[in-house]
């Protein structure tokens, strides 16, 4: 009976998505990741899709692996790093980027002390498509036993760059903790020779454990993150670098989400020249006339800019009343994006939902990419856009967990089985 139910769930996972008119087509891509895998990340460069993931080893510890997909099949997986001290977390996970010169860069996290959140961000590069990797280098200059993570790797005119959350101000306080009066910072650094330097503080007080996100814009970068005000409002803010100068932090949209803890739900950013799209989750609780808080107004939203983030339009709500967040967004063309997120459907259950949204604010019908669980182990779905269609990756939670992949084709587009 259990096998029959599993087979039915797999079948349902890849049926065409429901929606107005012709549906999106969902085709399973065989995963190169083994059992006990999770925390997938996708990158694309030169027509090749690169997948990274973490894999638990039977002998103990974990290894960070990657493989390349050319539209017909996967390369033999290679190992970026193996260690008993890798920091493995459902929300703060490794990433990969394909650079303009054809090289790859990857980052991961490693424990740096006894504290729960004492870990550092490390990186390596590859000049042969991921077959071999350079020696590991710390991404940041600080070596205190505090949190350094939620990294966004970026491609700039001068080479590789990165933004990350930096907890060096926690040093001397709680051992790698998230409490107290210490402040988490958002930092930026760049590299031309594989060594990061020129660290710049972009915001001196941010939310402790939400993902950062960003992308290149003409003359610089756009970076979004969850901010943290003195009275614990944790809305999304952003900074822009234009011609070497960073702007002051600005609120993306005044949601007014006041929460005395980190929601572990950062924004997603997609840039395409001057076009910027930001998707995010929020859950403010409005005050009634008597001053009491109402029900949480959970929602997933996306917002657009056509001038590299200098100005934004009104946010567009995408969910169906029970979102969990964990968003990603990618430009499909010059006029529209695809947004994915998790939405609760029942006790312990959820779906990965998807919706195409036009830059003028017109959303198309919502459809379901996959059945999943609302548990933390389900992680954050990831997207990349290729000549073959949209590739999606996510973690199928369970014992053991497994990275799953699918090729998504919009209405009117067909493709042979991958």
- For the segment 231-247, what is each residue's pLDDT rounded down to a tens digit? 999 999 999 999 899 99
Q: Cβ–Cβ contacts within 10 Å for residue 29, how many?
A: 21
What is residue 74's predicted lDDT score, i.e. its pLDDT? 98
What is residue 253's predicted lDDT score, i.e. its pLDDT? 98
Judged against a pLDDT cut of 70, whether residue 199 lies above it is answered with: yes
H or E element in which residue 10 lies: helix 2-13
Q: Are 308 and 287 in contact (CB under 8 A)?
A: no
Task: Tell me how many degrees the CA angle 233-235-239 measures, rounded to the nearest 5.
Answer: 125
H or E element in which residue 38 lies: strand 37-45
What is residue 224's predicted lDDT score, i.e. its pLDDT? 99
**Structure token pair of residue 327:** 């968003």
Contacts 24+ apart (CB under 8 A), 393-398: 393/40, 393/41, 393/42, 393/51, 394/40, 394/352, 394/369, 394/370, 395/37, 395/38, 395/39, 395/40, 396/372, 397/38, 397/372, 397/373
Q: Spell out the residues 6+ positions from residue 183 whose beta carbon is closer than 8 angstroms to its own.
A: 169, 204, 205, 206
CA atoms of 151 and 189, how far apart (whole Å)? 11
CA–centroid distance for 281 within its chain: 13
CA atoms of 45 and 105, how far apart (whole Å)? 12
Which stretches of 134-192 are assigned E, i.e. beta strand? 137-138, 148-156, 159-166, 184-191
Q: Spell out the residues 6+ positions from residue 49 whose beta carbon is closer than 8 angstroms to its own.
A: 42, 43, 68, 69, 70, 71, 384, 386, 391
**171 pLDDT tier (thresholds 50, 70, 90):** confident
**Within-domain flag for 153:** yes
**Structure token pair of residue 131:** 């077959």
**Within-domain flag for 227:** yes
**Within-domain flag for 18:** no
Put the strands of the sheet holding 316-317 in their side by side order: 268-272, 275-282, 299-305, 316-317
Q: Are 337 and 330 in contact (CB under 8 A)?
A: yes
Between the two ends of the chain, the Cα-to-Cα distance in Å is 30
Judged against a pLDDT cut of 80, whether residue 381 lies above it is answered with: yes
What is residue 412's predicted lDDT score, i.e. its pLDDT? 73
**Structure token pair of residue 326:** 């964990």
**286 pLDDT tier (thresholds 50, 70, 90):** confident
**Structure token pair of residue 376:** 């933390």
Average pLDDT over residues 117-130: 97
Judged against a pLDDT cut of 60, whether residue 281 lies above it is answered with: yes
**Within-domain flag for 408:** no
CA atoms of 286 and 295, how far apart (whole Å)? 7
Average per-residue pLDDT in the chain?
A: 91
Q: Which of 109-123, 272-286, 288-302, 314-328 has the lowest mean pLDDT?
A: 288-302
What is residue 296's predicted lDDT score, i.e. its pLDDT? 80
Q: Could you read off the pLDDT of 11-46 as tens digits, one per residue?
A: 344 444 444 444 899 999 999 999 999 999 999 999
HSE of 150, CA atoms in CB hemisphere, 13 A: 29
What is residue 239's predicted lDDT score, i.e. its pLDDT? 99
What is residue 285's predicted lDDT score, i.e. its pLDDT? 85
pLDDT over 90 percentage in the chain: 81
**Within-domain flag for 159:** yes
What is residue 346's predicted lDDT score, i.e. its pLDDT? 84
CA distances from 336 to 12, 190, 238, 277, 368 (A): 27, 30, 21, 9, 18
Which of the 8 DSSP states describes residue 85?
Answer: T
- Only one residue has tokens 């019908």, namely 365
Judged against a pLDDT cut of 50, whether residue 144 lies above it is answered with: yes
Structural domain count of the chain: 1
Q: Are 134 and 164 in contact (CB under 8 A)?
A: no
Q: Which of 105-119, 136-150, 175-189, 222-236 has the lowest mean pLDDT?
A: 175-189
Report the SS3 class of residue 48.
Answer: strand
**Within-domain flag for 256:** yes
Domain span including residue 135: 48-346
**413 pLDDT tier (thresholds 50, 70, 90):** low
Q: Could you read off the pLDDT of 146-165 as tens digits, one per residue?
A: 999 999 999 987 789 999 99
In this prediction the pTM is 0.92
Average pLDDT over residues 330-352: 96
CA atoms of 245 and 48, how far apart (whole Å)? 33
What is residue 191's predicted lDDT score, i.e. its pLDDT? 85
**Within-domain flag for 338:** yes
Which of the 8 DSSP states describes residue 7?
Answer: H
Helix, strand, coil percentages in the chain from 3-state DSSP, rounded to 5: 5, 50, 45
Q: Any idea what the CATH number is for the domain that residue 110 is in?
A: 2.120.10
Judged against a pLDDT cut of 80, whether residue 418 lies above it is answered with: no
- Beta-ladder partners of 197: 190
Judged against a pLDDT cut of 80, whether residue 131 lies above it is answered with: yes
pLDDT over 70 percentage in the chain: 89
Judged against a pLDDT cut of 50, whether residue 176 lies above it is answered with: no
Q: Which of 233, 240, 177 is nearest to 209 (CA)?
A: 177
What is residue 180's predicted lDDT score, i.e. its pLDDT? 46
**Within-domain flag for 27:** no
Task: Tell me how many degrees the CA angle 327-331-66 measures, rounded to the nearest 5.
Answer: 65
What is residue 55's predicted lDDT score, i.e. its pLDDT? 97
């Amino acid at each position: 009976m259990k096998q029959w139910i599993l087979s039915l769930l797999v079948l349902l996972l890849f049926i065409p998505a429901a929606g107005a008119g012709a549906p999106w087509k969902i085709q399973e891509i065989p995963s190169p990741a083994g059992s006990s895998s999770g925390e997938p990340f996708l990158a694309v460069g030169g027509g090749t899709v690169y997948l990274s993931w973490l894999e638990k080893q039977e002998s103990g510890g974990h290894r960070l692996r990657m493989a390349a997909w050319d539209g017909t099949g996967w390369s033999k997986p290679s190992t970026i790093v193996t260690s008993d001290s890798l920091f493995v977390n459902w929300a703060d996970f490794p990433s990969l980027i394909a650079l303009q010169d054809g090289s790859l860069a990857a980052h991961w996290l490693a424990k740096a002390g006894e504290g729960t959140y004492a870990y550092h961000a490390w990186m390596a590069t590859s000049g042969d498509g991921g077959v071999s990797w350079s020696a590991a280098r710390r991404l940041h200059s600080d070596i205190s036993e505090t949190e350094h993570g939620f990294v966004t790797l970026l491609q700039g005119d001068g080479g590789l760059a990165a933004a990350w959350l930096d907890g060096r101000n926690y040093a001397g306080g709680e051992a790698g903790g998230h409490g107290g009066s210490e402040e988490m910072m958002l930092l930026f650094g760049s590299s031309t020779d594989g060594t990061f330097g020129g660290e710049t503080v972009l915001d001196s007080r941010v939310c402790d454990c939400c993902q950062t996100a960003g992308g290149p814009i003409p003359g610089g970068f756009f970076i979004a993150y969850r901010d943290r005000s003195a009275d614990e409002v944790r809305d999304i803010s952003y900074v822009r670098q234009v011609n070497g100068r960073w702007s002051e932090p600005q609120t993306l949209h005044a949601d007014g989400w006041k929460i005395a803890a980190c929601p572990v739900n950062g924004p997603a950013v997609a840039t395409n020249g001057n076009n910027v799209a930001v998707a995010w989750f929020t859950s403010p609780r409005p005050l009634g006339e008597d001053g009491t808080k109402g029900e949480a107004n959970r929602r997933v939203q996306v917002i657009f800019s056509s001038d590299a983030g200098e100005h934004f339009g009104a946010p567009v709500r995408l969910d169906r009343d029970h979102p969990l967040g964990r968003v990603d967004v990618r430009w499909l063309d010059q006029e529209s994006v695809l947004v994915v997120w998790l939405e609760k459907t029942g006790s312990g259950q959820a779906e990965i939902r998807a919706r195409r949204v036009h830059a003028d604010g017109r959303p198309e019908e919502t459809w379901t990419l996959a059945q999943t669980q609302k548990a933390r182990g389900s992680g954050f779905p990831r997207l990349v856009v290729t000549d073959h269609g949209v590739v999606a990756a996510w973690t199928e939670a369970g014992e053991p967990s497994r990275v799953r992949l699918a090729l998504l084709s919009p209405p009117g587009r067909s493709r042979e089985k991958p």
